[in-house]
Amino acid sequence: MGKISAIITGVGGYVPDYILNNEELSRMVDTNDEWIMTRVGIKERHILTEEGLGTSYMARKAAKQLIQKTGVDPDTIDAVIVTTSTADYKFPSTASIVLGKLGLKNAFAFDFWAACCGFLYTLDVAASMIQCGRYKKIIVIGADKMSSVIDYKDRATCPLFGDGAAAVLVEGSEEENIGVMDSYFRADGKGLPFLHLKAGGSVCPPSHFTVDHRLHYLYQEGRTVFRYAVTNMSDDCALIAERNGLNKDNIQWVVPHQANMRIIEAVAKRLELPMEQVMVNIEHFGNTSAATIPLALWENEHLLKKGDNMIFTAFGAGFVHGASFYRWAYDGKDHA
């Protein structure tokens, strides 16, 4: 058997119906549309408001659409991996709930935590599982219900995040020079003080104190996170481009994590690419954490052509960051 390529063969997505726009948000907290658009570039975000529904609901919706679009036999799925920072429960895994709801009989499931880098890292893990030859078909889902950890009294963070999910089917192929080509990942543990959710884990378990002091919400020191994100995402993209002979003439798309429009523009500038070649959905989705990159693929699938050279890049809590080189495996207009 020759070398196995790991390729994405389809994309599914889901965002909740309810849209929280800047005008409504400005009635909840001291902010306004101009302030939000100037600093981060977000106009609206989708929020899962139905009581009793969590991340697994959105993940299942995205995966179900993926299965329908690709026509894959559910009994041939080997694994389901959900990457999220907002799991339904501490345990069991969100992936196991999704698997059960989809009725997959021959698959195993696990969650992968890497904050906003989740999809980037998980795609690489799934690709390795495929390339080793032991698995044939894996569903990778990036999903987050960020509204569940956002303090809507905090004007610094509540405009930034939204809810959503997107799923890709990763399969093996005998075709060469296609699919996941290369990746560069790093982490800097010094990021803990600047971006975290303080309570709810084993260091600071839930208590009346943690609830009363609003410690179950995301905390972010925006300026520090912004500075690290710009530097690392730009450097990582430049490195992955250099070692794979990629430049402004042969890169078709950059798919960056959607945290801040100014970060996205800085990445494009570093690669000397026009914004027309950068997938952007932050204006209408906000930061959906692990879902941003696959949601961008889902929205823009119809534009993708077989052989397109793409760079994915992300940055998140931990500080985890990285970039990967992916060569698209099918004409998107035939699948969208």
- Which residues is 309 bridged to in the sheet? 327
Number of residues written out for the chain = 336
Distances (CA, A) of 165 to 33, 74, 204, 308: 25, 19, 29, 24
Residue 117: which of 156, 85, 78 has the closest Cα? 85
Stated as kind and residue range, the H or E segment containing 15 is none
CA dist 107 and 225 (Å) reads 38
Cβ atoms of residues 89 and 52 within 8 Å: no
Instruction: List all residues 6 or more positions away from 59 whose beta carbon is below 8 Å from its beta carbon.
Output: 82, 84, 94, 95, 98, 141, 143, 165, 167
DSSP secondary structure of 261-329: HHHHHHHHHHTT--GGGB---HHHH-B-GGGHHHHHHHHHGGG--TT-EEEEEEEETTTEEEEEEEE--
Cβ atoms of residues 111 and 155 within 8 Å: no
Q: What angle do CA 314, 181, 135 make, to 5 degrees?
A: 95
| Token code pair at residue 122 | 């998980």
Active site residues: 116, 257, 287
Q: At residue 3, what is the residue type?
A: K
Q: How far apart are the first and last CA of the chain?
A: 32
